[in-house]
């Protein structure tokens, strides 16, 4: 989970546009944020821990970033701890060029690549896999686009990347297209963003997605493109449709919100409940709850009020923060008392949030709480940039549905089927990754233990 943004323009305030692009991508990462600009080939990076408006807290900070190219990043850690040295964009000075780079995804072979770079005397200043990519591009003795293509041939796993080097904006995507990456245009200027909602905010029209295995680069002559590595089996992350992407974004040409409504409709068909009212876990369960209510004929209402100024609990990386987060975040309404409630959420990953919410609803006087989940049970880790790499943390990995119902304390529990979820996206099953639901991975996966996100941290510095 991370958001990336890039723009090249001779006439616009590129740092300001990157700021607003990142603002639209805040949901993809709330630990740190940063912008790198290139002015006449000279790169400056500002990055820090915190939300985008916290990192860029004044006009002066943006005004100090003039240039023709800007790239930006919002981070949620999946390799390397949540500390400053792993904030992005990273900047790496190599033997051939200096590269600033932002990455969404996760490499599955970063350990091998780190060892190889270390053996060649390349020093890395961070523990994330992102600097590995920057270092490969920075040392390759070839024109920039060819250097990127050479680096891509070495990478395995998920990567949607923006980078700047030699005054050129570059974007590239892994051959399976696991994480999203879109191209837009404002007038004759080109924009790259993780999601189309960022293009909308800066006034860019959507042109197309970066193709799996493609590298695009934008210089003073405009946009150029090459198929750097052969396109593999398409494996776009289906969890983006379920939860991660903003509902107003378009993935694979389809609006995410409507896919989520369809998931709720299908769920109502597959797992109806005798109840008085349907309510969402806001905001992640809202579209599916709308769909469930529509199809079931039950009234839709709000029962939990969310404090929208608290970050998403899923995005906070440490268990203790997550536990505290729930109390800060939701408050039940009086009308819950005496009701048989269908409560809809998009997914259950670790189960802590749902267990506390069910308890909260019963404490508020609910008679019955029927939990309906608009995706299948998450049973297997993600190695592609979503922080669920440890099977032991996945509540459903070793529990039956009834054991899960008992675990969360609900009156009844049902999940959407894999087929139902697939149907709702309107995408062919052969074009997506659904490995965390099915255990069928589109790439080689790391050996046990090699996926620990803090594996490159020195003992004592694991954050």
Q: Which stretch binds ligand SF4 (CB under 6 A): 120-128, 231-239, 249-257, 286-294?
A: 231-239
- Counts of helices then strands in the chain (DSSP H, E): 15, 23
Q: Which stretch binds ligand SF4 (CB under 6 A): 87-95, 146-154, 221-229, 378-386?
A: 378-386
- Residue 2 is a catalytic residue: yes
**Burial of residue 221, with CB atoms counted within 10 A of its CB: 0-12 exposed, 13-18 middle, 19 or more buried:** exposed
Q: How many CB atoms lie within 10 A of CB 431?
A: 16
User: In sequence order, what are the residues at sequence separation of 6 or more whose Cβ sits closer than 8 angstroms to the Cβ of residue 406?
Assistant: none
Instruction: Indicate which single residue of 344, 434, 445, 446 sits in contact with ligand SF4 (rule: CB under 6 A).
Output: 434
Q: Nearer Cβ to ligand SF4, position 17 or 238?
A: 238
Q: What is the largest CA-CA distance in the chain?
A: 71
Determine if 386 is a binding residue for ligand SF4 (CB under 6 A): yes
Task: Report the residue number, 5 or 239, with the smaller CB distance to ligand SF4.
Answer: 239
Q: Does 238 bind ligand SF4 (CB under 6 A)?
A: yes
Q: Select which of 2, 197, 237, 436 is catalytic.
A: 2
- Contact between 436 and ligand SF4 per CB under 6 A: yes
Rounded to the nearest whole angstrom, what is the least distance from the CB of residue 243 to ligand SF4 in the complex?
9
Identified binder of ligand SF4 from the candidate list 239, 330, 415, 456, rule CB under 6 A: 239
Whole-number Å distance between alpha carbons of 416 and 270? 7
Shortest distance, position 237 Cβ to ligand SF4, whole Å = 3
- If binding is defined by CB under 6 A, does position 237 make contact with ligand SF4? yes
Rank residues 19 and 239 by Cβ distance to ligand SF4 and give the closer one: 239
Q: Give the binding range for ligand SF4 (CB under 6 A) out of 87-95, 96-104, 162-170, 232-240.
A: 232-240
Residue 148 in contact with residue 104, Cβ under 8 Å?
A: no
| Closest distance of CB 375 from ligand SF4, Å | 10
The yes or no reply on residue 382 touching ligand SF4 (CB under 6 A) is yes
For residue 435, state whether it binds ligand SF4 (rule: CB under 6 A). yes
Q: Is the Cβ of residue 238 or residue 288 nearer to ligand SF4 in the bound state?
A: 238
Among 24, 52, 202, 433, binds ligand SF4 (CB under 6 A): 433
Looking at the Cβ atoms of 15 and 436, the one nearer to ligand SF4 is 436
**Smallest distance from ligand SF4 to CB 326, Å:** 22
Judged by CB, which is closer to ligand SF4: 44, or 438?
A: 438
Minimum separation from the CB atom of position 423 to ligand SF4 (A): 16
Best CA proximity match to 445, nearest among 407, 405, 391, 399? 391
Residues 452, 462: Cα–Cα separation, whole Å: 11
Min separation Cβ 288 and ligand SF4, Å: 17
Q: Which of 296, 291, 383 is nearest to 345 (CA)?
A: 291
Give least dist CB 179 to ligand SF4, A: 8
| Residue selected from 5, 362, 384, 456 as contacting ligand SF4 according to rule CB under 6 A | 384
**Residues contacting ligand SF4: total by CB under 6 A:** 11
Query: Does the CA dihedral 110-114-120-125 come out positive or negative?
Result: positive
- Contact between 216 and ligand SF4 by CB under 6 A: the answer reads no
Pull the structure tokens for residue 309.
């100024």
| Preceding peptide of 288 cis, ω within 30° | no
Q: What is the DSSP letter of 62?
A: H
Q: List strand residue ranges (DSSP E) for 54-143, in order.
A: 69-75, 90-93, 98-107
**DSSP strand pairing (412-415 vs 432-433):** unpaired
Tokens of 24: 């639209």
* Joined tokens for residue 251: 């993935």
The total of other beta-carbon atoms located within 10 Å of residue 197's CB is 21
Which lies closer to ligand SF4 via its Cβ, residue 110 or residue 296? 110
Q: Is 178 in the site for ligand SF4 (CB under 6 A)?
A: yes
Distance CA 219, CA 403 (A): 57
How many C-beta atoms surround the C-beta of residue 164 within 10 A? 29
CA-based nearest residue to 371, from 339, 409, 397: 409
- HSE, CB side, 13 Å, CA atoms: give it for residue 404: 26
Rounded least distance, CB 442 to ligand SF4, Å: 8
Query: Which residues are annotated as catalytic?
Result: 2
Residues forming the site for ligand SF4 (CB under 6 A) = 178, 237-239, 382, 384, 386, 433-436
């Amino acid at each position: 989970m991370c958001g990336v943004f890039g723009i090249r323009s001779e006439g616009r305030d590129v740092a300001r546009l990157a700021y607003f692009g990142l603002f639209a991508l805040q949901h993809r990462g709330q630990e740190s944020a940063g912008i790198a600009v290139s002015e006449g080939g000279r790169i400056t990076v500002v990055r820090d821990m915190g939300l985008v408006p916290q990192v860029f807290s004044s006009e002066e900070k943006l005004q100090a970033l003039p240039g023709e190219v800007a790239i930006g990043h919002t981070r949620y850690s999946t390799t390397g701890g949540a500390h400053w040295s792993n904030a992005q964009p990273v900047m790496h000075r190599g033997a051939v060029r200096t590269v600033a780079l932002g990455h969404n995804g996760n490499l599955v072979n970063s350990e091998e690549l780190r060892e190889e770079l270390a053996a060649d005397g390349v020093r890395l200043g961070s523990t994330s896999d992102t600097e590995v990519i920057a270092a490969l591009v920075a040392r390759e003795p070839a024109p920039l686009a060819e250097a990127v293509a050479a680096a891509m041939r070495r990478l395995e796993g998920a990567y949607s990347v923006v980078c700047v080097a030699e005054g050129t904006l570059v974007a590239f995507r892994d051959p399976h297209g696991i994480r999203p990456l879109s191209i837009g245009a404002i007038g004759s200027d080109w924009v790259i963003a993780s999601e189309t909602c960022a293009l909308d905010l800066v006034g860019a029209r959507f042109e197309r997605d970066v193709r799996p295995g493609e590298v695009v680069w934008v210089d003073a002559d405009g946009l150029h493109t090459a198929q750097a590595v052969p396109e593999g089996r398409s494996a776009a992350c289906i969890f983006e449709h379920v939860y991660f992407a903003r509902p107003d974004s378009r993935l694979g040409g389809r609006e995410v919100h409507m896919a989520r409504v369809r998931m709720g409709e299908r769920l109502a068909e597959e797992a109806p409940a005798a109840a008085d009212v349907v309510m969402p876990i806001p905001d992640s369960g809202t579209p599916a709850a709308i769909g469930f209510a529509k199809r079931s004929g039950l009234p839709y209402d709000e029962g939990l009020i969310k404090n929208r100024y608290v970050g998403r609990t899923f995005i906070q990386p440490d268990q203790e923060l997550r536990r505290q987060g729930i109390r800060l975040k939701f408050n039940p309404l009086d009308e819950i008392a005496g009701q048989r409630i269908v409560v809809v959420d998009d997914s259950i990953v670790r189960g802590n949030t749902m267990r506390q919410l069910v308890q909260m609803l019963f404490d508020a006087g609910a008679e019955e709480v029927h939990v309906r989940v608009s995706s299948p049970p998450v049973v297997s880790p993600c190695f592609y940039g979503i922080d669920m790499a440890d099977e032991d943390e996945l509540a459903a990995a070793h529990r039956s549905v009834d054991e899960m119902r008992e675990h969360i304390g609900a009156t009844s529990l049902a999940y959407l089927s894999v087929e139902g979820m697939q149907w709702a996206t309107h995408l062919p099953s052969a074009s997506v990754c659904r490995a965390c639901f099915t255990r069928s991975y589109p790439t080689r996966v790391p050996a046990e233990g090699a996926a620990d996100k803090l594996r490159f941290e020195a003992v004592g510095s694991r954050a």
